Amino acid sequence: MSVVGARPNFMKIAPLHKAFQKYPSISHRIVHTGQHYDANMSRVFFDDLELPHPDVYLGVGSGSHAVQTARIMVDFEKIVLAEEPNMVIVVGDVNSTLACSLVCSKFLIPVVHVEAGLRSFDRTMPEEINRIITDSIADLLFVSERSGLTNLRNEGIPDSKVFFVGNVMIDSLVHFKEKAARSTIRKALGVEGKQYAIVTLHRPSNVDVRDNLASILSMLDKISQRQTVIFPVHPRTRKMISEFKLGERLLSNANLILCDPLGYLEFLCLLESASLAITDSGGIQEETTYLGIPCFTMRENTERPVTVSEGTNTLMGFDYEKTAVEAETVFQGNYKKGRVPELWDGKTAERITKEIANKLLLN
């Protein structure tokens, strides 16, 4: 049984679901907690990624961390009791990941954590807490980059539980790249054949602080004087722009394109041809590294250090003015070139399902 809850989970489960089809004796069920529920944050990904509808939808919705985590636990426990899964797979670091791992560990149901071992060493990030706790109770841990191996060893997790398999999200990218290239989104946004930067920002540290959000909008204003900027706005960000009354000035800038959150294929299509990505997402740091697109991450740390040491990512902290200046380096073609990290080869799901099948079918 695999758990998905929020937008970054879907592209990690899709390749696993496909890879499980090779094992007819394993029935793979998908539970959607409903942590994300808007069509453009959830359903479009099932369509784009050719995922079947979830077998179970819990519909927990938004709430404070305690409320959301608790609701998922209460509802997921009922599913586990009714369906008695032999193993539960959780991915990433969202509240659904933590909540469902906790439920299973009390029933002694083996928990598999995909994307284990990543650490930002910043406990002000709710995701860091989710990562540490999930890894401490998981029975099988699949790691996407070598830093994960070191982190898990340092936390006393036995090597026998840990497998370095590469990045399963990149499997989705490899598989859907051609299909994404056929999307008409560039034409629809009027950027076909043009140079443009793409922006996604949703972390509380950037968007829940008025001064930071105001500085971000000034930064985008500046960058948009050089190149078109496309900014698909996350629901949290939209809410904060409106709460802080920062929306008006955005309307007057025709070179700053704001739109609703995009589907997987549309976003991938835009990302592939972008001259620069500015983000605070985890996954986009990795996707840009794979695609060789320059990426500025608006955070002081990253749990994905390989994207900085080998890839195209640079941590900009919260220095929005410097970011606008550095964008010029990128536009002039003077930015570092990266390389694709080890085992980010589109075959991670095969490696993971093989290991899971070994455990399930031999027991």
Question: Which residues are tagged catalytic?
Answer: 202
Q: How far is Cα 282 from Cα 276, in angstroms, rounded to an integer?
A: 16
Q: Are 122 and 300 in contact (CB under 8 A)?
A: yes
Contact segment (CB under 6 A) with ligand UD1 among 6-14, 47-55, 144-152, 291-299 equals 6-14
Binding of residue 127 to ligand UD1 (CB under 6 A):
yes
- Report DSSP letters for 235-269, one per residue: HHHHHHHHHTT--HHHHT-TTEEEEPPP-HHHHHH
Residue among 10 and 20 whose Cβ is closer to ligand UD1:
10
Taking the complex as a whole, how short is the minimal distance between the CB of residue 8 and ligand UD1, in angstroms?
5
Report the residue from 38, 211, 243, 260 that binds ligand UD1 according to the rule CB under 6 A: 38
Element housing 152 (H / E): helix 146-154
Q: Which of residues 235-264 bind ligand UD1 (CB under 6 A)?
A: 235-236, 239
Report the DSSP beta bridge partners of residue 295: 277, 313
Binding of residue 285 to ligand UD1 (CB under 6 A):
no
Report the residue from 2, 7, 113, 212 that binds ligand UD1 according to the rule CB under 6 A: 7
Contact segment (CB under 6 A) with ligand UD1 among 29-37, 51-59, 293-301, 305-313 equals 29-37
Report the residue from 22, 47, 50, 62 that binds ligand UD1 according to the rule CB under 6 A: 62
Taking the complex as a whole, how short is the minimal distance between the CB of residue 228 and ligand UD1, in angstroms?
24
Q: How far is Cα 261 from Cα 301, in angstroms, rounded to an integer?
A: 25
The torsion angles phi and psi of 93, rounded to 5 degrees, stand at -145, 25
Taking the complex as a whole, how short is the minimal distance between the CB of residue 127 and ligand UD1, in angstroms?
5
Binding of residue 267 to ligand UD1 (CB under 6 A):
no
Residue among 6 and 19 whose Cβ is closer to ligand UD1:
6
Residue written as token pair 């990253």: 302
Binding of residue 201 to ligand UD1 (CB under 6 A):
no
Q: How far is Cα 74 from Cα 63, in angstroms, rounded to an integer?
A: 14
In terms of C-beta distances under 8 Å and separation of at least 24 residues, what long-range contacts does 43-48 make, across chains too? 44/263, 44/264, 45/7, 45/10, 45/11, 45/263, 45/264, 46/10, 47/263, 48/176, 48/263, 48/264, 48/265
Binding of residue 8 to ligand UD1 (CB under 6 A):
yes
4, 237, 332, 344 from 280: Cα distances, Å: 21, 12, 23, 21
Binding of residue 35 to ligand UD1 (CB under 6 A):
yes
Report the residue from 18, 32, 202, 304 that binds ligand UD1 according to the rule CB under 6 A: 202
Binding of residue 41 to ligand UD1 (CB under 6 A):
yes
Contact segment (CB under 6 A) with ligand UD1 among 3-11, 146-154, 328-336, 349-357 equals 3-11
Element housing 140 (H / E): strand 140-143
Residues 6+ apart with CB under 8 A from 342: 145, 146, 166
Report the residue from 26, 77, 126, 255 that binds ligand UD1 according to the rule CB under 6 A: 126
Binding of residue 120 to ligand UD1 (CB under 6 A):
no
Among the listed residues 130, 154, 202, 144, the one whose alpha carbon sits nearest the alpha carbon of residue 15:
144
Binding mask 79-118 vs ligand UD1 (x if CB under 6 A, - otherwise)?
---------------xx-----------------------
Taking the complex as a whole, how short is the minimal distance between the CB of residue 330 and ligand UD1, in angstroms?
24
Q: Are 190 and 184 in contact (CB under 8 A)?
A: no
Relative to beta strand 295-297, strand 313-315 is parallel
- Which residues are near ligand UD1 by CB under 6 A? 6-8, 35-38, 41, 62, 94-95, 126-127, 202, 234-236, 239
